Amino acid sequence: MRVLVTGGAGFIGSHVVEALTARGHEPVVFDVRADPGADVRDPDAVTRALAGADAVCHQAARVGLGNGVADAAEYVSRNDLGTAVLLAAMADAGVPRLVLAGSMVVYGEGRYACPRHGVVRPGPRAAADLDAGRFEPRCPDCGAELAPGLVGEDAPVDPRNVYAATKLAQEHLAAAWARASGGTAVSLRYHNVYGPRMPRDTPYAGVASFFRSALARGEAPRVFEDGRQRRDFVHVRDVAEANVVALEADAEPGALRAYNTGSGTPHTVGEMAAALAAAYGGPEPVVTGEYRLGDVRHITADSARLRAELGWKPEVQFDDGVREFAHAAMER
């Protein structure tokens, strides 16, 4: 297949390009980092790039938590307007296959169980609780401590910041395109992706990048809250393989299918910081008690659907991936 990869010069996109090439496909990179004229919001540029394409792997996006609502317009422009322009051009060109870089942020908090009330959905954490060091969500019915679990794709969506809202809107736009065009659409809801070529210390990088960047400066990684936040850290090469598998799959036409894309093995943020520091050679992490309002406490993936339906499974184990990442090159 000839596959247009938007964001193909970026962290995940560049690995997708390599994985496509290794499987005998022809990736075409569309990325402002490689070509300033390759803006996914430019209909003419997108139309030219789609010439001869059999599929699109849409990785281009502005990522990260953002700055409250101050940069909402920029997020909506890059993520949602850009996706709308791309989909309209795909419909005009008759390109029938789309794989979208989705995100676990669409869920808000993960899955929780109360010993008395079963599965519950706690609301956003209050600043007063976070200021007091009360980081764990409580049962909204009785206030009891909750047990976190793995979130499945059928969980209700609850985006809690601007970035999350734009990622959910991308899925809705892709679903509308699939229904209107008869195309196939897959959203891979990435969990915490890490690995070589990750962007270094920027406001829009993942927590693993902040830790690795601090170590490179000779500083201790700063771990927010109490470090016990649970995440699913998945290696970028496994994510790239998931994209290729999704592009090659016989997806249902006229609909969007979402898949959690994670390792399936939760680790705490503190564990990631400690493992990176040990692999790098120190200094040891510092737990600060700071927080970012809008962050969720626990979000870990049940990736069983992706394994069962598409035959994908992660190959890079956490310890091996962290050791590699501790000394891997990073991007500015």
> Tokens 């771990």 sit at which residue?
223
Strand partners, 119: 113
Residues 6+ apart with CB under 8 A from 143: none
Distance CA 82, CA 69 (A): 19
Sign for the pseudo-dihedral over CA of 20, 97, 316, 330 = positive
> Looking at this protein, which amino acid is placed at residue 217?
R
End-to-end distance of the chain based on CA atoms, in angstroms? 31
Catalytic residues: 163
Is residue 64 within 8 A of residue 163, CB to CB? The reply is yes
> Cα(214)–Cα(191) distance, rounded to whole angstroms?
22
